[in-house]
Structure 1
């Protein structure tokens, strides 16, 4: 083999290797080779990819997928009458614990005041200790009023529980009707049966809604009246105690900025203002004018100041509110003929975003 033949063979091999090298800018013959990776499937494409012919059931299924893909934000927790009862019980327990500590403080102040060398200051400290004790007693009697409020919330809580039960039944019936209407149609016998049950459920919801409104109006009005009556009496007694202490401070130091409060005079603070909360509150009442025509904060020293303990005992009596608070039984007896005249039209019910139970 000579040099020419060897060179020819080497050149041929080089030409053969370059012939099979792919061209960089060459376009593929098939269109399928252009997509190296398929794009991600969306909710819409996955929902419609299986649909040969759109049907109601398929569209509803697609909507459920969309709702699950976009969850709603956290909703605010609803407070019911049962939750209020638990909070009131917790608050009253805390007040009782605080009263124990305050009673210890009052006893310590009384013991310490007896050892003061100045008799005038010792007397002032004893009156100040009595005022602190009266304020603590006011908080103690407030716990009793809150307990009374908790008892009146019981009737409201029972009707709220009944309403939630009826709402759950209505929601279940509505779901069963929707499923049956999709499968068998809205005119099917089973669908019609569910519609009748839904109408009955809506009728019961309207009845319990009216009962809840009437019970809440009666019980809450009675509870607020009791609390307001107690508060007015407590403020009257505390104001008289505060005026007595303010008078002693003014006698010892005429330059003191302490001033007396203008409160109605009388031996019994509860006899000088109405028990009906709809009338003028004693907080807005001015002191009665004397013979000279000018109001004055001076009181007859011969009249003893009525303490808050007597007021607390008076408020605890069962017959104290007998003539001032309307009971639920009296209200029901007055409305027994009124309820019969009400015509319940189920067509007034409308479905809304909050659920069932709203009507025109």
Structure 2
């Protein structure tokens, strides 16, 4: 291309030589790792805003769903009451932690071994070139690049890429967990949890009319698993460096850059096609709260453990909901139950002042 710009025929190496001019003082061993770091920084700067946007989307849902009380679950079993807003807020906070980790990555990637030539000693390159080349690259790229203090070490080792890939794997793990929860929360719609409704993106079945699958969380889950696989491949490649050079950087580059791309697109797709349009099924959540034995825990501060246990046993024996049974037995009024299972009550740290008990109690146990 340089020859064309100069009006010279291709192959006129005596005018512009690929070795004596274009690649003068350069080695693949310092230019390739430097180029990879620049590409990784750009990938990082594309990923960060995508994570921020997804985090903010969950924060909006945290506010939208703050009033929706639901059954919280541990080990997939009913536990205690919480709110759907708190669930969304937990997703947002996990992404915020990943966002903070990613912000620390760039500092590591800015340190380059350019000027070290073949093994980091700078052999065959003028001192002036070695001390000026990174400054020139910094000006061209607009990135705060710095020459490594130990060019020999920086040429041998690829552990920085392992560190960055590990942080990408952490983000992938967060996304896979979130998507798994979204699939569970939207399961049903009639015989599952059904606490949220995800936007329908495609027909789910040619056999079962009306079936809609959570394809966006499933797609993002697969992308996250692929990122985890890339991290393993990258780690192995980085560990196989021999003596003064790691010859497996092409695999490191492929794995790292594709992980950046997969995660950035996954965050964007999950936000635009699932989270932004997500809705709460408030009636379903309230029905579960009033019927599930998990709601009984909210009554312990008022009734005590023994009487609450008796209440649960009675509800299970009669097949009635916790609220219906508690009111029928005179343990609480409907208003007291609603107060004890309100968003404020189930989300405050510790229970508040005792509520006056109903005096029309039909069991004492």
Relative to the length of structure 1, the TM-score reads 0.30
Higher relative contact order at CA 8 Å, sep ≥6: structure 1 or structure 2? 2
